[in-house]
Amino acid sequence: MAENKKLRTPIVCVMGHVDHGKTSLLDKIRGTAVVAGEAGAITQHIGATEVPIDIIVNKCGQPQLINKFIVPGLLFIDTPGHHAFTSLRSRGGALADLAIVIVDINEGFMPQTIESLQILKRFKTPFVVAANKIDRIPGWRTNPEKPFAESFKNQSENVQQLIDTRIYELVGELYKLGFNSERYDRVTDFQKNVGIVPISAATGEGVADILMILLGLAQKFLESNLRFDANNPGTGTVLEIKEEKGLGTTIDVILYDGTLKKGDTIVVGSLGNPIITKVRALLKPRPLTEIQTEEKFKSVNEVTAAIGVKIAAPSLEKALAGTAVRVAGSDNADEIAKEIKTELEQV
């Protein structure tokens, strides 16, 4: 669809308290697609997983919706209690277009849940709450991979009541932070109410519902913001600085606007003066490999937002996580360096 080319992939950050299931949910989203025999279509980027739109609508059992949505897919970013992530958010980089806040339904709100919500509030980022680990509710009858509503119908009255009680506790906590919320299937206007989706990252129950709501949010809130021109100079944020065998110091970057090419001059934030260097190689991990253990990368000539990519270039030793990466033209590298430095000094 030509229309798709005009929208970039929305970036969805998965946030929440330690151990509440952020990585498990992403594993589930990835794994389900593999089970569906669509591994080739899923790309695992650096610190990020891109899920194309056709896989999402199929997973939701609604392939006919493929023409209704104009986003090309969703780019999920896992957020460990990562310092780089906090600083990049507080820089107002607005990296996340949307978010999932995960909370263990058995534990309720914890400090990092609250912190995540405060960040989202500050940046006015639309989000959905995933009330995870429903399979741990005493008496829960598992219905693997089913939408929540279907699974809920198969539960005893006691379990149904317990779920509703827990959800109302979450509604109360959210209200204290200034958000109106409801169980997602009772929300009529997602612009006024945050949807809470009970899920299990372990069994896959409710995961399709989360994906559907995210697409709806993307469509509704982001259409104007996500339009972009692939001809824009690439702009991104440094997630991590890593030493790689044979490559020297590299930076893992989320590119959120424009195009980045091999040979481009880039300006990268640093503790001192920003680094001006030339891209020697652009590297993507192989599809569906675990980034932490991945050692083989695929070299590509160019990448377009939104995407996670590893950049190899000289002089990156002093690059700073959380700072900007911008492609420079033939004569404006110094000017861009000044802008990045000023931004950093304002933090």
Choose the one of Mg ion, ligand GTP, none that binds residue 202, judging by a C-beta under 5 to 8 angstroms depending on kind.
ligand GTP
Q: Tokens standing for 298?
A: 């695929």
The two beta strands, 275-278 and 11-16, are unpaired
Minimum CB distance to ligand GTP smaller for 133 or for 146: 133
Q: Is 17 exposed, middle or buried (0-12, 13-18, 19+ CB in 10 A)?
A: buried
> CA 300 to CA 282: how far, in whole Å?
6
Closest separation in Å from C-beta 322 to ligand GTP: 18
- SS3 of 36, please? coil
Which of the ranges 18-26, 214-222, 268-276, 332-340 carries the binding residues for Mg ion, by CB under 5 A? 18-26
Q: Is 23 in the site for Mg ion (CB under 5 A)?
A: yes
Identify the residue among 8, 20, 146, 183 touching ligand GTP (CB under 6 A): 20
Q: Does 81 bind ligand GTP (CB under 6 A)?
A: yes
When the beta carbons of 321 and 333 are compared against ligand GTP, the nearer one is 321
**Chosen from ligand GTP, Mg ion, none, partner binding at 20 (C-beta under 5 to 8 Å by type):** ligand GTP
**Cα separations in angstroms, 42 against 14, 222, 275, 286, 296:** 18, 23, 33, 10, 17
87 near Mg ion, rule: CB under 5 A:
no
Draw the binding track, 173-202, toward ligand GTP (x: CB under 6 A; -: no contact): ---------------------------xxx
Q: Which is nearer to Mg ion, 48 or 267 (CB)?
A: 48
Site for ligand GTP in 199-218 (CB under 6 A): 200-202
Sign of the torsion formed by the C-alpha atoms of 36, 40, 46 and 51: negative
Closest CA to 260 of 239, 231, 288: 231
Rounded least distance, CB 142 to ligand GTP, Å: 10
Pick what 135 binds: Mg ion, ligand GTP, none; C-beta below 5 to 8 Å, kind-dependent. ligand GTP
User: Is 45 a known ligand-binding residue?
Assistant: no
As a whole number of angstroms, the distance between CA 311 and CA 294 comes to 15
Q: Is 23 annotated as a binding residue?
A: yes
Is the peptide bond preceding residue 328 cis, with omega within 30 degrees of 0? Answer: no
Structure tokens, 53: 């739109």
Could you tell me whether strands 73-78 and 48-52 are parallel, antiparallel, or unpaired per DSSP bridges? antiparallel
Residues numbered 22-61 forming contacts with ligand GTP, rule: CB under 6 A: 22-24
* Contacts with ligand GTP, residue ranges (CB under 6 A): 16, 18-24, 80-81, 132-133, 135-136, 200-202
**Residues of each annotated binding site for GTP:** 16-23, 78-82, 132-135
